[in-house]
Amino acid sequence: KEVVIPDSVVTVGISAFAGCENLSKVTLGANVEVICDYAFYYDINLHCLDSGAQYLDDAYSLAYHGARF
């Protein structure tokens, strides 16, 4: 499964997609500024996080813990 977060979204909330075992790709909109802790926590099939944002350089933070980048 794939999720496209639209440009109108600024914040991906705490645990927004946590535990989504079928999620494999997330495309972030151009205006996403904040990804809260546990947003993609234990999304074990998440292999691709597509973002134009330069601040997403820590793929092992709490937001992505358990994802397999």
Pairing of strands 11-12, 34-35: parallel
pLDDT value of residue 26 = 93
Number of H helices, E strands in the chain: 0, 5
Across 2-13, average pLDDT: 93
CA distance 20 to 28: 16
Please tell me the pTM assigned to this model. Answer: 0.78
